Amino acid sequence: MSIDPVATSFVSGVSTEPLLHQTVDGVLGAAAVRYPAALALATSERAVRYTFAELDAAVESFARGLVALGLKCGERIGIWSPNRSEWVITMFAAARAGLILVNINPAYRSYELGFALKLVGCRALVFAPSFKGADYLELLRDIIPELAAAERGPLNARGFPELRLLIELNEVASPGCITFGDVCAAAAELPADALAMIGARLDPDQAFNIQFTSGTTGTPKGATLSHFNIVNNGYFVGECLRLTSADSLCIPVPMYHCFGMVLGVLAAMTHGAASIFPSEGFDALAVLETVASERCTVLHGVPTMFIAMLEHPRFAEFDLSSLRSGIMAGAPCPISVMRRVIGEMHMAGVTICYGMTETSPVSFQSLTDDPLERRVGTVGRIHPHVQVKIIDGEGRVTPRGVAGELLTRGYSVMQGYWNEPERSREAIDAAGWMHTGDLAVLDAEGYCNIVGRVKDLIIRGGENISPREIEEFLYQHPAVLDVAVVGVPDAKYGEAVCACIRLRAGASATAEEIQGFCRGRIAHYKVPRHVRFVESFPLTVTGKVQKFRIREQMRVDLNLTEEQYA
């Protein structure tokens, strides 16, 4: 393709559709008025079904209960749970009560949970009893010792003075907790007009959602998103998918992430479509069964999910002919997989997205009728009402076809990192541009190709992993003198975590011991798959560790190449 030498790497998304000036709760309220009897939410695993009117009533009850129990506008409520109907109810109830929803990864363990709760000062936490073998109550007791002997009701924890309510998704409350049902029962104590008065003061530009995102240095950051950010991103994702009220969207991706919450539930609800959860966590068979039984028309997933479905031994048993579209994102998609998804899963209109949590998240998306090579070789074109430019190392916009760092500006850019103004200024410049850290190229037609990363972020199966965070954790091991964490190629997840460790003089350790030290204390996807012990690290003349050389050496030592997994 020829490149116009005059054209610069700047694009601005245009649309005849205006931005929505609406809160997250306003999305549900509008859908409940327009489609009261239509299916809004279903969960296959727990056989829960809500029409839009029923979901609106459930949200009203829980929101009233939260306010009756003392939560005030602007306070933070965390949700630490896999995909359940209560997750969606909590999300919309938080919006209705004027609270800020804090998404906590279900894979988080005590170390990460404690950090998240303290960073944002959660006033309440809604949590599931367990998930994938992890006992959430035990993990809470690890960081809140008082919990074991606490009375039922408001919590008083020395280490978490702001945390007052632990809301357990269970029939019977554990010590120090109340149940989801208890909150709903408290709704009767609230004056009839209390929520309406709160709603009258809410504004779409107010902060609504905090999602934790890993950078390449330091601890996770709380990306703070407004109602306006995520409502509009969800709406325009749905527009690209051509969603209507006749659609039902199967959501096997997690709700704690923008993929499930924004590209899933909000994209569906802004168009009157149904949101279907096949299981609490991804299960290929459950997805196939749910698509067939619910006659889902749209399906989201990362490439590894689609591969797992296609390779499932019972794949041929299920009628997937109702499918027409969906989103494949989180990692590059091999063209062979895309061809099978289109041919064998009937998803002729499957699209690709690119974005980041800090931009609500989508900046680029392919269209349902884009040529196949465009949906594999690029991440599509600019989203409506979003601007992007690509700059070189001196901050100048590059010509079309020349790689540089991708910057995003517009309605979708976050308000900042919660309570971290310095890190916010590092990410968003004075002109409002969000610096993504990704290397990209724009072609003559405006299609974008992500060609690398400016930083060292590890992306494992769609999960962003901060090497520095794992390094700081591993420094707590008594035998570890120094550590460098890098990403190496992996056939299943795209990248795997590799920890290179220098041991203290006289100390000894095995790879299994290091991995065991991590398990149960940090999320499973952060536990190093590969552990190597080294005498020294390659350094620059100024003493900085050269991670690119470590990665190259580990690929040789582990007999891994990028080409094997292309």
Give the pLDDT score at 50. 98
271 within some domain? no
The pLDDT score that the predictor gives to residue 548 is 81
The answer as to whether 532 is a domain residue is yes
Q: 232: left (phi > 0), else alpha (psi -120 to 50), else beta?
A: alpha
Residue 376 is predicted with a pLDDT of 84
- Domain termination site, one of 155, 187, 213: 213
DSSP letter at 173 equals P
Q: Which has the closest alpha carbon to 195: 304, 87, 99? A: 99
Assess if residue 520 is contained within a domain.
yes
Q: What is the pLDDT of residue 85?
A: 98
| 14 within domain boundaries | no
Domain containing 541 — which CATH number? 3.30.300.30
Q: How far apart are CA 314 and CA 310, in angstroms?
A: 9
- Asked if residue 112 lies in contact with residue 220, where contact means CB atoms within 8 angstroms, the answer is yes
Do the Cβ atoms of 440 and 402 come closer than 8 Å?
no
Q: How far is CA 163 from CA 66, 122, 156, 178, 254, in A?
A: 14, 6, 8, 13, 25
Q: What is the pTM of this model?
A: 0.86
**What averages of pLDDT result for each successive group of 10 residues across the chain (566 residues)?**
68 97 98 98 95 98 98 98 98 98 95 96 97 95 93 89 96 95 96 94 98 74 98 98 98 96 98 98 97 98 90 96 95 80 96 96 96 90 98 94 94 98 96 93 94 76 83 91 91 93 94 96 96 87 70 90 46
Collapse the DSSP code of 195 into the 3-class scheme (helix H, G, I; strand E, B; otherwise coil) and give the result.
Answer: helix
- Provide the residue range defining the domain that includes 141: 51-213
Q: Which of 160, 187, 213 is the last residue of a domain?
A: 213
Q: Among 196, 213, 230, which residue terminates a domain?
A: 213
H-helix or E-strand containing 489?
strand 480-490
C-alpha distances in Å from residue 255, one per residue of 128, 234, 478: 13, 13, 37
CATH number, domain at 65? 3.40.50.980
139 Cβ contact partners less than 8 Å away, ≥ 6 residues apart: 109, 110, 113
Helix (H, G, I), strand (E, B) or coil at 90: helix
- Amino acid 547 reads K
pLDDT at 241: 98
Instruction: Output b/e per residue, 52-90; b: 16+ Cβ within 10 A.
Output: bbbbbebbbbbbbbbbbbebeeebbbbbbbbbbbbbbbb
Cα–Cα distance, 428 to 414 (Å, whole number): 9
Please tell me the predicted confidence (pLDDT) of residue 455: 66
Question: 208 lies in a domain?
Answer: yes
490: which strand partners? 494
CA dist 345 and 349 (Å) reads 11
User: pLDDT at position 563, please?
Assistant: 44
Specify if 450 maps to a domain. Answer: no
Q: Does residue 415 lie within any of the structural domains?
A: no
Residue 76 is assigned to a structural domain of this protein: yes
Query: What is the domain count for the chain?
Result: 2
pLDDT at 542: 42
